Amino acid sequence: MEATKKVILDCDPGHDDALAIVLACAAEEIELLGITTVAGNQTVDKTTRNALRVLTLIGMEVPVARGAERPLIRELITAPEVHGESGLDGAELPEPAFGPREEHAVEFIVRAIRGSSAPVTLIPTGPLTNVALALRLAPDIARRIERIVLMGGAARESNVTPAAEFNIYVDPEAAHIVFTSGIPITMVGLDVTNRALFTPEEIAQLARGGPVRRTFAGLLEFYAAANERLLGIRGAPLHDPLAVAAVIDPGVLATEPLHVEVELCGVQTRGATVVDVYRVTRRPPNAEVALALDLARFKELMWRALERADRRG
Ligand code: RIB
Ligand code: CA
């Protein structure tokens, strides 16, 4: 087996982020150095509390550091219509068994990367505010980041507006900093994550599992209903777990080296990831863009992680 990858998961739980935490904690291929939280699906107070509640649910104590309360420039936009007022509506979750660290998420990211014995893989699954701030605070960390495997953007799909995906839309300036950093990037966008669905039947199957799976059955029923109501998607799109799965088993995705530019000025197109799919600009690629996925291979990882979480809990 390849050496384990040292990982920091930067997230905005959020239902799919919650499953990304379960997957990252269950994977033998990952050494989870910590979880950092950012404002996105909900306020950072709520996303931090949710990360702690999910870790308590699955019986894991991982360092959690609270991050940016708002994007670099724009006003914060949250998504209660998708994730509810708590950010994890749909099931009862335990009160956190432990609290977040004193240090800010950005300080945690910088310190953990500088102190790591090997290069670190960042998995951002929310707006990129913390990652951008860390790169500006400590440019030296760039050479100690093995890869940024981010859930965000799309070549052809969208969700929050006809042109943009939510994570990039919320903080496009932060995304611009990341995509122009020169750090190896894998972009796990809606082109693949909108197909990484747990069907209603699979969600019902979860309800027949142990306490962790039963909790996620309730969470995913809420989340799937919101996605059907808002986007006509049948099932729960597991956007963020697919980014984690791509670190555990890169074979779950097929990617192309392409140039990606983040639109910062458009009125209708703010936050669009302009992916040069046909390489017409001749600009050098700055990301491996995911354009296809092996759904069965991904779901096998998800089922195994959820079963393991129930065995531990
Ligand atoms: O567009 C989907 C992304 O936005 C996911 O990461 C979801 O959790 C939200 O953050
Ligand atoms: Ca997210």
SS3 of 138, please?
coil
- The whole-number pLDDT of residue 43 equals 98
The response to whether residue 165 sits with its C-beta less than 6 Å from ligand 1 reads yes
CA-CA distance, 293 to 255, in Å (whole number)?
9
- The whole-number pLDDT of residue 3 equals 75
Q: What are the tens digits of pLDDT across the range 216-231?
A: 999 999 999 999 999 9
Nearest CA to ligand 1 atom 2: 166
Q: What are the tens digits of pLDDT across the range 53-71?
A: 999 999 999 999 999 999 9
What lies within 8 Å, CB to CB, of 66 at 6+ separation is 36, 37, 44, 45, 48, 100, 104, 105
Verdict on whether the full-model pTM lies above 0.75: yes
Predicted confidence (pLDDT) at residue 2 exceeds the cutoff of 90 = no
The response to whether residue 191 sits with its C-beta less than 6 Å from ligand 1 reads no
Share of the chain above pLDDT 70, in %: 99
Predicted confidence (pLDDT) at residue 189 exceeds the cutoff of 80 = yes
What domains are defined for the chain? 5-312 (3.90.245.10)
Task: Give the mean pLDDT of 33-53.
Answer: 98
Ligand nearest to the Cα of 40, by number: 1
Residues with a catalytic annotation lie at 239
- The whole-number pLDDT of residue 312 equals 81
Q: Give the atom of ligand 1 at the shortest distance from the alpha carbon of 16.
A: 8
- The whole-number pLDDT of residue 115 equals 98
Residue with the two structure tokens 């799109």? 237
Residue pair 244/23 in contact by the 8 Å Cβ criterion: yes
Predicted confidence (pLDDT) at residue 1 exceeds the cutoff of 60 = no
Task: Give the mean pLDDT of 252-270.
Answer: 97
The response to whether residue 17 sits with its C-beta less than 6 Å from ligand 1 reads yes
**Which of 5, 12, 16 is CA-nearest to residue 241?**
16
The response to whether residue 14 sits with its C-beta less than 6 Å from ligand 1 reads yes
Task: Give the mean pLDDT of 160-170.
Answer: 98
Nearest CA to ligand 1 atom 1: 166
Q: What is the distance in A from the centroid of ligand 2 to the CA of 253?
A: 19
Element (H, E) at 6: strand 5-11
To 10 degrees, the CA torsion angle through 200, 201, 207, 209?
A: -140
Residue 269, both tokens: 């197109």
Give, in order, the Cα–Cα distances in Å from 142 to each of 7, 111, 139, 279: 14, 13, 6, 26
Distance, C-alpha 173 to centroid of its chain: 18
The response to whether residue 263 sits with its C-beta less than 6 Å from ligand 1 reads no
Q: Give the atom of ligand 1 at the shortest distance from the alpha carbon of 165.
A: 1
Predicted confidence (pLDDT) at residue 88 exceeds the cutoff of 70 = yes
- The whole-number pLDDT of residue 103 equals 98
- The whole-number pLDDT of residue 38 equals 99
What lies within 8 Å, CB to CB, of 129 at 6+ separation is 38, 39, 67, 68, 70, 71, 72, 171, 174
Q: What is the distance in A from the centroid of ligand 2 to the CA of 167?
A: 7
- The whole-number pLDDT of residue 45 equals 98
Task: Give the mean pLDDT of 43-62.
Answer: 98
CA-CA distance, 311 to 313, in Å (whole number)?
6
- The whole-number pLDDT of residue 197 equals 97
Give, in order, the Cα–Cα distances in Å from 227 to each of 74, 90, 101, 233: 25, 14, 33, 6
Q: What are the tens digits of pLDDT across the range 17-31?
A: 999 999 999 999 999
| Mean of per-residue pLDDT scores for the chain | 97
The backbone torsions φ and ψ at residue 100, rounded to the nearest 5 degrees and listed phi first, read -75, 160
Q: Which long-range contacts (CB under 8 A, 24 or more apart) does 202-209 make?
A: 202/235, 202/299, 203/235, 203/236, 206/306, 209/306, 209/307, 209/310
Residue pair 30/60 in contact by the 8 Å Cβ criterion: no
